[in-house]
Amino acid sequence: MKKKSWLKIAALLSTMLSMQISHASTSDPYKIGYISDITGPVQGTFKDTYIGFKLYIDQLNATGGVNGRKIDTILKDVQSDTQKSVNAVHELKAANVSGIAGIAVSSTHVPTYAAAEKVGLPVVVGFPPNLPVVLEPAAKHVFGAGQVFNVTNTITGKIARNLSKTARRFACVAFEAPASIISCETSLASAKQNGFDETKIFIVPQNQRDFRSVVANIIKFNPDVITDCFGQSHFIGLIPALGAAGYNKIYLNLETGINDPVKREALKSAPDIDFYTYSRYISGTNISNEGSEAKKLQQAATKAGIKEVVAAHSSGWILGQIVAQAFEKCKDDCSPEAFTRALNSTDVNPGGLTGINIKYTEKDHYGPTAYRVYHFNKTTTNFDAVGDWYQLAPAKQAAK
């Protein structure tokens, strides 16, 4: 009899211990890794996306998190260095994250993807650059919430033609990074398709800061429209140089993390440029009326002392939504495999932060996208929305 009693007690204790362990494991925070350039050479392009991401995660955690669990973000500042990026992947794997978000300059992407695939971690790449591996048929472990430039820039020529019916010459300025060059090449092809007679690309080194010689060559080409794909430091150098050279035609900027305050300051030195910008994500000093998520972001930004929401903040907020939705779907088991399965059915309502839902499928890890054009108002110095959103259907990778 005593033996049976002890067996019952032992069984009861075992059950209670199991319940305690289970409770502990299901109440622990979810973990997501975040790789970015926070203090490196292109921090101006990537830091604000991380800030937007953290704003979303912090407000979510403050209201209870997901499935009763908070989300811990483990940040790795890789300064756009390839080896540091690869090392960060292994460090995050050791930290038992479910996946990785963010990523830095496009030249680090392929080695980072390869390292992540090797250790079995999915990657959700943020704004701005995404490589075409997220398009159908997508790489199993890579998802994109930024811009695949050879998709985004298929509309550049159409936008430029809508802005000027008589323009004939089209130029694009890129820096020495794969995504930037692809962006310009696609823009030139789009311009040709939309009736531009002459097109030319100008490629500058990543560390280029003095643009006087570059601008001399651009002015010699005499473009009716100039577009670009580069970061803040290049923009800050190019626009004043164009102003000093007397350029007074259309400049159509692709928003790649340059951000409105930086544009506004640079344009003080180029008052004659007719400046437009187009972006996948919204920006402004007050975006509350754009939708439910825009209102939440505005409130969080104001609370954090951020005076103006930029496109990178909006993109980071949505990146947070994507991650949170995946955690919500995989519930207690959020291993990297489960996290990947959850990402494959992503359907995020952006609540006004962009013009269409963020949707992934098992084959397509990028989905449909939308872009809005803004015109710089020289009187108010605001960036005023022009027309409706330009929507792009899901695209496929080019045949190899």
Q: pLDDT for 75-108, tens place per residue?
A: 999 999 999 999 999 999 999 999 999 999 888 9
pLDDT at 177: 83
pLDDT at 400: 54
pLDDT at 59: 97
Q: pLDDT for 143-162, tens place per residue?
A: 999 999 889 999 999 999 99
Place of tokens 């030319």: 200
If you average pLDDT over every residue of the chain, what do you get? 92
Q: Is it the case that residue 1 has pLDDT exceeding 80?
A: no
Q: Is it the case that residue 191 has pLDDT exceeding 60?
A: yes
- CA quadruple 382, 383, 386, 389: dihedral, nearest 10: -140
Q: Is it the case that residue 19 has pLDDT exceeding 70?
A: no
Q: Is it the case that residue 21 has pLDDT exceeding 70?
A: no
pLDDT at 11: 54
Q: pLDDT for 355-391, tens place per residue?
A: 999 999 999 999 999 999 999 999 999 999 999 999 9
Categorize the per-residue pLDDT at 22 as very low, low, confident or very high, splitting at 50, 70 and 90: very low
